[in-house]
Each structure stands twice: as structure tokens, then as C-alpha cells.
């Protein structure tokens, strides 16, 4: 059985200029002030994100954080601390985009972090 890997697509130049959506597990623990206390999951996502960027893709990353109430965004549910840490690890700005369900602007060679996907209505029912 042949398995087509993302690394294969990148090596073949097929990711260049394409929009790449990465659903990562960036659900990291935070202290009471919203500071990340352990970033293993973020660091584990960096190689794939960097590979997509290096391949010339327009990269959109999303994750959930905690267990927010669907359709009710609260600041404590924000991926803002994750965006800051991801920016540090990638050595580039990683803008956080809210209200992204109807589309997002991202250019090849850029990366954006899409706000907590579990806040979106329909997320629980995969709608």
C-alpha cells in the first residue's frame, strides 16, 4: 500500500502556492494568568508548520483549547498565548484570526493561527 505523505507533496512541489489547513493539538496547560506552563504540543507541531512554510504554502493552523461553550467566546478560551509561543518558536509573527469560518486571507509563505475551533457553532456535531 502506498501512503502519500505531506512531506512527499512538499518534495514534489505540490504544496507551493496552495492553502494548507493544519488541525493541530495545541491544547496546552496554562496557569491562572493565562501563561503556558508546558508547551510540548506546540513544539511538536512546529516541524509540520515549518515544512509547509518552506514549501511555499499559505498555512492556516487551528486547534481547540479547553472545553469552551460552543458559540460563546470568552477571553480565557483564546489561543492568543499559543499564537505568542508559536511566533517565538517559528521566529515570525503568527497572527491570530477570529471569525474565520467564512474564510481567511493568508498568502503563500505566511502562517496564521485560527481562533479556538471549539467555539464555532456546529463544532460538536462536526457541522
CATH number of the structural domain spanning residue 42: 3.40.50.1260
Q: Cell match 510540548: residue?
A: 40
Give the domain range for residue 13: 6-119
β 58-62/96-97 pair status: unpaired
Structural domain count, the chain: 1
21 domain-assigned: yes
53 domain-assigned: yes
25 domain-assigned: yes
Whether 48 and 42 have beta carbons less than 8 Å apart is answered as no
**E strand spans, 1-127:** 19-23, 58-62, 96-97, 111-114
pLDDT of residue 71: 61
Question: H or E element: which one contains 51?
Answer: helix 40-54
- Give CA–CA dist 101/117, Å, rounded: 9
**pLDDT by 10s per residue, the chain, length 127:** 788 899 999 999 999 999 999 999 998 988 988 899 999 999 999 999 999 999 999 999 998 776 766 666 677 778 899 999 999 999 999 999 987 777 899 999 999 999 877 665 656 565 5
Tell me the angle at which helices 40-54 and 80-90 cross, rounded to the nearest 10 degrees. Answer: 60
127 domain-assigned: no
125 domain-assigned: no
Amino acid at each position: 500500500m502506498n501512503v502519500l505523505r505531506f512531506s512527499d507533496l512538499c518534495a514534489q512541489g505540490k504544496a507551493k502556492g496552495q492553502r494548507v489547513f493544519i488541525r493541530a493539538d495545541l491544547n496546552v496547560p496554562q496557569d491562572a494568568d493565562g501563561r503556558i506552563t508546558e508547551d510540548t504540543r506546540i513544539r511538536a507541531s512546529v516541524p509540520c508548520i515549518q515544512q509547509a512554510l518552506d514549501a511555499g504554502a499559505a498555512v492556516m493552523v487551528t486547534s481547540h483549547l479547553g472545553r469552551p461553550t460552543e458559540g460563546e467566546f470568552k477571553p480565557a478560551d483564546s489561543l492568543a498565548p499559543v499564537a505568542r509561543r508559536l511566533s517565538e518558536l517559528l521566529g515570525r509573527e503568527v497572527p491570530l484570526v477570529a471569525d474565520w469560518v467564512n474564510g481567511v486571507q493568508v498568502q503563500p509563505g505566511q502562517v496564521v493561527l485560527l481562533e479556538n475551533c471549539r467555539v464555532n457553532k456546529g463544532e460538536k456535531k462536526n457541522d
